[in-house]
Amino acid sequence: MAEIVLIAGSPSRPSRSTAVLRALRRSLPPQRGVAEVHVRDLPAGPLLRGEADEPEIARAAGLLDGARAVVVVTPVYKAAYSGLLKTFLDLLPTDALAGKVVLPLATGGSPGHRLALEYALKPVLSALGARHVLAGAFIADDQALWNGAAVCGGDDGAAFELDAAALARLERAAEELEESLRRADASPQSAELIAGGEI
């Protein structure tokens, strides 16, 4: 069972969001079990019809049940997170993120899009029960440059190369996530406070 679930909300392949997700994953401690959900790979028809009991969708949503932390990665379109991500989040129970540490990440065309983390993504995460939402990180498109030669390797996360500032930002985000989990490990009271939204 995965302790940390990474949810990628980009409809594109390849995508900068996948590059961000993979870079963050490399910064996470190897002892933490990690699972990835790429919403674009779920069956489109059932997803659009809101069929939460479709087997692949149910399996993806079920990963959240045992997770202690959830990372949500999305491109920003029109000052909001992707519609594909919204479609998946709409299928989740209203308490799907209760008691979990949540880290939001976004990519977008300009630094002004970073506000989408605060005003678009974080409110919907709170609506799903998240009370301990970390600051998150925003990576501008010009910090994730096309690396077309890497596409041949089959990993669309390698199609974009993140610059040093973006990698440092993601490393700090991973450290903050790990520190939140360590605090909960060290103190059962801390875990209760996270679950109750007190931290």
Return the higher-pLDDT residue of 25 and 114.
Answer: 25
Q: How confident is the model at residue 148 (pLDDT cuts 50, 70, 90)?
A: low
Residue ranges of E strands in the chain: 4-8, 34-38, 69-77, 80-81, 101-108, 132-133, 137-140, 144-146, 160-162
Return the higher-pLDDT residue of 188 and 95.
Answer: 95
- Does 188 score more than 80 pLDDT? no
pLDDT at residue number 43: 97
Residue boundaries of the structural domains of the chain: 4-196
CATH number of 4-196: 3.40.50.360
Predicted TM-score (pTM) of this structure: 0.88
d(CA 87, CA 27): 28
Closest CA to 13 of 194, 124, 158, 162: 158
